[in-house]
Structures are given as structure tokens and as C-alpha cells.
Amino acid sequence: MAFPQSRPRRLRRTAALRALCRETILTPDDLVWPLFVEPGQGVRRPISAMPGQFRMSPDEAAKAAREAWDLGIQAVILFGIPPHKDAVGSAAYDRDGVVPQAIRRIRDAAPEMCVITDVCLCEYTDHGHCGLVDKGVVLNDATLELLAKEAVAHVKAGATMVAPSDMMDGRVAAIRDALDDEGYEDVAIMAYSAKYASAYYGPFREAAESTPAFGDRRAYQMDPPNALEALREVTLDEEEGADIIMVKPAGPYLDIVHMVRELTDLPVAAYQVSGEYSMIHAAGERGWVDLERVMMESLVGIKRAGADMILTYFAPEAARLLGRR
Ligand code: PBG
Ligand code: ZN
């Protein structure tokens, strides 16, 4: 039937009708809040390029996680900024490093929180690359062992799930083997499978002081124009034992989120990265857009594209709004 019999506007007349017909529902259950952890106590340092986000010591991170839990957020992902960086990222696999300390504190403050950890070397290396470097090249196979050690250190401290973001080939299998060897066959891996070499990571690198000292990450992260390659990455990670597949960034890559959703039966995560967050904030602060509405629209768009869960710095704000309704 066509107009005038068909009138889609009939179902948009009232808020109750719109609610009844809504196809995509965002809830705090969908959200994962990224936290930056640095050494010390009582530290809560604002990140200038990410308004409303902080670098926190383990005790403060635990407080923040508890507040998030009380808003309905059931998952956080941790990034560590170590006291010392070196060529091999030693602090990444220190069993008493900042991330293990934060995991233990969060476990106490919010015992049922899903604590995910980012597994990568770039926050811990003095050159800022995601793996070992030899003559300007990031070594793939030699890096795998260190990533596996890092994952084991996090899980020993109580992490619920590990999320490798390094983009080395074979890292999911290496981490899976290492975890299984230690008896952690029940600990899941969320793979950053389709992770693009994106300019949208700019504010994060300021927060984590992880800008590469030379070159860039294009020799290991994906080339933004590619989509089929993302499907190959997803298939490989599935074969290696990934439990959740991630696409990153989210907003500029919704086609990839959708394609990955069609390809895999595993849960799909999308990471709304620092640059996406900061740009929305900046426009909101200038009064050019309505911050709250653009925030919610960006998140529901990511879910509508096919994401089961969204990693986002907006998590507490969005949860607060969703709770109000
Ligand atoms: C580490 C890592 C990065 C992000 C998540 N894990 C930075 C990078 O790859 O340069 C980016 C997150 C964000 O921008 O919010 N490999
Ligand atoms: Zn990295």
C-alpha cells in the first residue's frame, strides 16, 4: 500500500507510540567504561583533551568503578600508565604493576564488575610502539610472548577478560595458549580484531603518553579504506579462539560493524574512541550541537549498526541519562 493509505507518521505521533515501536534500545548493560590508571594514591588528574575523563591512581579508579557500578555499568576496561617506560615494556607484565593493582582495588570496591584489561605494549614502551622494535620495525613473533605474559599478569590479578589491542598476527592464539597453560581456560578474550590506523586516537595518546617516538602504526593497524580485510581479521581471530570481536573506531566504521555482525555469531563490540568523544564534547561546549542528544544518538547508532556492546567514555553520562528517562 502506498500513500494516502500508508502513513508512517501515524506511529510517530506520541512519545508512548514511539517507545512502543522503537527497534533499538540502549541500556547501561551495553556500556564498557575505559579507565586510565597511573601510580600513586589519591591521584585524579584531568585529561585535557578528554573533558570529564581522568587519569587515576588505583584507589581512585576503584572509587570511580564503584560509582559506575551504582549507575548500572557492569564493565570497565583498564589502561595503565606505568612509572617507567623502557624498550621492552617491562612494566606491562609486572605482576604488581598499576593495572594489577587497580584490578585488585576494583575487585574489592565492586566485586561483581566485569574487569577487562587492554593488553598492549605501547603504553609501556619508551618508543611508544605496540611491540618490540628492531631497526625501526615492530617485530611480530617476538612480541607475542610479551603480550601473553601481560595477559597472564592481568588475569592472575583478577581480570575477568583480556583485550589485546596490539594488532600483531597470531596474538589471540598466543594469549589463549598462555592462559590455558596457567589454568585460565575459562577467561575470555575480547579481540580488537578490526582495529584501524586512525587519527581518532589522538586524545588517547595524550592521556596514555603513548604517541610513537618515530613513525606511526600503519605497518600493523589496518588501512582505513579496507573492509574485506576486516572480515579476514575477524575470521582469523575466531579461529584463534577469540570470544568477542571488536571493531575500532566505531562511528566512522559503522559499515564494518554491520558487516562483522553479519559474518560472526560471536558478540560484537565497538569502541567509540577518544577522538569521537572529544569531538562531540568540543562541539557541545561551543553550543554548536546538543551534547546529550548527540551523545545518545551516536551510541544508539553504533548499537543499531550491530554492536552488542560499546566501549565509550560517555558510559557514566549515558547511564545517568538512561536511568533518568
Ligand atoms: C593501545 C590502544 C589505543 C587505543 C586503545 N588501545 C591507542 C592506539 O592504538 O594508538 C585507542 C583508544 C582511544 O582512542 O580511545 N594500542
Ligand atoms: Zn598499542
pLDDT for 132-145, tens place per residue?
Answer: 999 999 999 999 99
For residue 118, give the ligand 1 atom closest to its CA: 6
Q: Is there an atom of ligand 1 within 6 Å of 207 CB?
A: no
Taking the C-alpha atoms of residue 38 and residue 275, their distance in angstroms, rounded to an integer, is: 21
Q: Convert the pLDDT of each residue in 275-298 to its tens digit.
A: 999 999 999 999 999 999 999 999
| 153 part of a folded domain | yes
Q: Across residues 141-159, what is the average pLDDT? A: 98
Does residue 13 fall inside a structural domain? no
**Which backbone phi and psi does 308 adopt, to 5 degrees?**
-85, -30
Query: Cβ–Cβ contacts within 10 Å for residue 126, how many?
Result: 13
Q: Is the CB of 230 under 6 A from ligand 1?
A: no
Q: What is the DSSP letter of 315?
A: H
Residue from 201, 217, 218, 272 whose mutation best tests the ligand 1 pocket (most atoms within 8 A of CB):
201
Residue 113's domain comprises: 25-324
Question: What is the structure's pLDDT at 187?
Answer: 98
Domain count, the chain: 1
Asked which of 64-68, 206-210, 301-305 is least confident by mean pLDDT, the reply is: 206-210
Evaluate whether residue 9 is within a structural domain.
no
Task: Assess whether pLDDT exceeds 70 at residue 178.
Answer: yes
14 phi, psi to nearest 5 deg: -130, 165
What mean pLDDT do residues 248-265 have? 98
Q: What is the mean pLDDT of the chain?
A: 97
| Across 156-166, average pLDDT | 98
325, pLDDT greater than 70: no
The verdict on residue 265 lying in a domain is: yes
Catalytic residue list: 195, 248
| Residue 37 zone, left/alpha/beta (φ > 0; ψ -120 to 50; rest) | beta
Q: Is the CB of 130 under 6 A from ligand 1?
A: yes
Q: Does residue 82 surpass a pLDDT of 90?
A: yes
Beta strands in 133-202 (DSSP E): 133-134, 137-138, 161-164, 188-195
Distance (Å) from CA 118 to ligand 1 centroid: 9
Q: Is the pLDDT of residue 25 over 80?
A: yes
| Structural domain includes residue 12 | no
18 located within any domain: no
Q: How far is the CA of 194 from the centre of ligand 2 (A)?
A: 14
Per-chain residues with Cβ under 5 A from ion ligand 2:
120, 122, 130
Q: What is the mean pLDDT of residues 103-111?
A: 98
* 209 vs 268, residue with greater confidence: 268
The pLDDT score that the predictor gives to residue 286 is 98
Q: What is the mean pLDDT of residues 155-168?
A: 98
Tell me: cis bond preceding 46? Omega within 30 of 0 counts.
no
Which CATH number covers residue 301?
A: 3.20.20.70
Instruction: Report the first-to-last Cα separation within the chain, whole angstroms.
Output: 36
Q: Whose CA is nearest to atom 5 of ligand 1?
A: 165
Q: How far does the centroid of ligand 1 lie from the alpha carbon of residue 104, in Å?
A: 23
Q: Is residue 1 part of a domain?
A: no
Residue 206 within a domain? yes
Q: Which of 204, 217, 280 to mutate to test the pocket of ligand 1 (most atoms within 8 A of CB)?
A: 204
CA of 248 relative to ligand 1 center, distance in Å: 9
Q: 204 in ligand 1 pocket by Cβ < 6 Å?
A: yes
pLDDT at 206: 87
Find the ligand nearest to 35 CA: 1
Cα of 204 from ligand 1 centre, angstroms: 6
* Percent of the chain whose predicted confidence (pLDDT) is above 70: 100
